[in-house]
Amino acid sequence: MKKNVFLITLLFTFSAIYSQSSLVTINRNQDLGLFNSSSGVYEMMNNVKQIKKLYYFKSFNNKTIINIKNGKKYKINNFNLDLVDNLFVSKVNNDSLFVFSSIESAIINNREFIKQDGGIYEVLVKGKRVNFKIRYYSEKKDEVIDRLNGKVVKPMRFVLKKEYYLVNNKTSSLKILNKLNKKKLLKFIEDNKLENEVLNFIKKKKLSFKKEEEIKQILNYYNSL
């Protein structure tokens, strides 16, 4: 019963986008079975309070457009990334999550996220020469116990980790970086002439290889050449 109530409530927060010019709102009169099959919802996760979780966003109040693999799109304002189980989720209540499947991508607060090879990635740059993305994941930290009194000083927790992925779209070669690095990034540019053009662009714009936003500018320029 609680699941059905949530489904009906959730329908008010969803909109189906069939074209750029038309926006069709899904309401309670539409068939729930049809909604389930087309939205990519595949399960409920209960007893969440008893499970240690790490979400990418601090809250679930995020404006999101979900792109389903069948070509349909939905808008939802209750969305987050579960980095422990690598899931796209919506919050039902303090103890339950709605888990989404068959999602091509999710545009969350104007940022694009995809699920690929079992992981969750943010796409920063897409172009003819190179793609640049970040994989976000969780790392488990065991509890810390005081040896003298046996009390837990720090409970078990998950911490956010990330690594950068560079994909050469011509050779399909992949480079994984734990940190942004000028030398490794420039090695990814195989043409010396193009490398010089990129270096001149960096100098002109006074860009750094240490900031994600400036790396995006550099790689977008490289893709434009």
- Distance from C-alpha of 47 to C-alpha of 57, rounded to nearest angstrom: 20
Which residue spans within the chain are E strands per DSSP?
Answer: 15-17, 23-25, 41-46, 61-68, 73-78, 80-82, 87-93, 96-100, 103-108, 111-116, 119-125, 130-141, 144-145, 152-154, 157-168, 174-177
pLDDT exceeds cutoff 90 at 1:
no
- Distance from C-alpha of 161 to C-alpha of 175, rounded to nearest angstrom: 17
pLDDT of the residue at 144:
87
pLDDT in tens, 45-77: 665 655 678 999 999 999 988 888 777 788 888
Q: Residue 152, class by beta-carbon neighbours within 10 Å (0-12 exposed, 13-18 middle, 19+ buried)? A: exposed
Backbone φ and ψ of 207, nearest 5°: -95, 160
Distances (CA, A) of 121 to 6, 73, 130, 163: 28, 19, 16, 9
Pick the more confident residue, 200 or 21.
200
For the chain, domain boundaries: 1-109
Nearest to 55 by CA among 45, 68, 42: 45
In single-letter form, the type of residue at position 59 comes to: S
Q: What is the mean pLDDT of residues 30-53?
A: 53
pLDDT of the residue at 62:
93
**H-helix or E-strand containing 197?**
helix 192-205
Q: How many CB atoms lie within 10 A of CB 184?
A: 15
pLDDT of the residue at 15:
54
Nearest to 178 by CA among 167, 163, 161, 159: 163
Distance from the first to the final alpha carbon of the chain: 57
Nearest to 189 by CA among 169, 213, 214: 169
Half-sphere exposure of residue 41: CA atoms within 13 angstroms, side-chain side: 23
pLDDT exceeds cutoff 50 at 103:
yes
pTM: 0.81
Percent above pLDDT 70 for the chain = 77
Helix crossing, 212-224 with 192-205: angle to 10°? 130
pLDDT in tens, 169-199: 988 888 888 888 888 888 888 788 999 999 9
Most confident of 10-24, 46-60, 136-150, 192-206: 192-206
- Distance from C-alpha of 111 to C-alpha of 106, rounded to nearest angstrom: 8
